[in-house]
Amino acid sequence: MTIPSYLPSAHGGDLIFFGGADTSDALHLITDVVSNGIAVLTRSNLTHVAMVLEPSLPIGGHPQTSLNLIESTILAGKSGPQINPAEGRIQSYEGLVFLARLRERTRLTLDWNAIWDYLLGRIGLDHYSTKTIFDYLARAVPVVGRLPLFCSPEAKAEVCSEYLAAGFRAGGIPGIHPHVDCPQTLAEWAIYEHLDQLRGHPAAIRNFNTV
């Protein structure tokens, strides 16, 4: 398997956090405008999150030949949960990219079979949820944001953080509410061993690994 030189320490389940706009897809630019609005409201520099796919898992019945990411996004005409080459996603991204390595204690306590079954099982069935993005914005509005309409997930659809949070919930992390979790929320979970910045100007993630 080919592993990018800047990801020698990445393992399946580690998270890749992105900040800024991905200009590789026109439709993604639209969602990035809203995502950047969420980043402002949450005082975060993060707009997207993906997970390193376990290298030993086959894709379509075939062994993986390079490191891949599993994520819910809109990219190259595909909407929703999908698998993309890690190197292509990271190297082509214009903005900040971080690798958040899970701590060993976290790895040992999670049911990884359940996590992968959930995440892989949504590919081809679900689409990217623009409703969830606008729900994030609506919940920032006093009174209006408390309406049930803006607190209910869309059927068979999820954004990046919602998708991965649901995977972690399936794996045994309690108290997770995927529909209200944004990339900043996942970054604040106290489940990580280390944070490496892969691209972009020197930056940090606010409240990383503290909750």
- Which pLDDT score, from 0 to 100, does residue 38 have? 58
Greatest Cα-to-Cα distance within the chain, rounded to the nearest angstrom: 52
Q: Judge whether residue 107 has pLDDT over 60.
A: yes
Q: How many domains does the chain have?
A: 1
Give this prediction's pTM.
0.89
- Which pLDDT score, from 0 to 100, does residue 35 have? 55
- Which pLDDT score, from 0 to 100, does residue 49 have? 96
104, part of any domain: yes
Return the amino acid letter for 207: N
Would you call 10 exposed, middle or buried from its count of C-beta atoms within 10 A (0-12, 13-18, 19+)? buried
100, part of any domain: yes
What residues have CB less than 8 Å from 24, skipping those under 6 apart?
75, 76, 92
- Which pLDDT score, from 0 to 100, does residue 27 have? 44
- Which pLDDT score, from 0 to 100, does residue 41 have? 58
Q: Judge whether residue 26 has pLDDT over 90.
A: no
Return the amino acid letter for 143: V
Which residue segment(s) compose the domain that 25 sits in? 15-199
- For the four alpha carbons of 167, 170, 171 and 176, in that order, the dihedral sign comes to positive
24 SS3 class:
coil
177, part of any domain: yes
Region 115-136 average pLDDT: 91
6, part of any domain: no
129, part of any domain: yes
Please write down the HEC assignment for all residues of 146-183: HCHHHCCCCCCEECHHHHHHHHHHHCCCCCCCHHHCCH
Unique residue bearing structure tokens 């590789």: 24
Q: Judge whether residue 34 has pLDDT over 70.
A: no
Q: Residue 139's pLDDT band (boundaries 50, 70, 90)?
A: confident
What residues have CB less than 8 Å from 77, skipping those under 6 apart?
25
Region 5-25 average pLDDT: 80
33, part of any domain: yes
Nearest to 164 by CA among 59, 54, 70, 35: 70
Q: What is the pLDDT of residues 70-82, one digit of tens each?
A: 999 988 889 999 9
10, part of any domain: no
Region 3-7 average pLDDT: 80
206, part of any domain: no
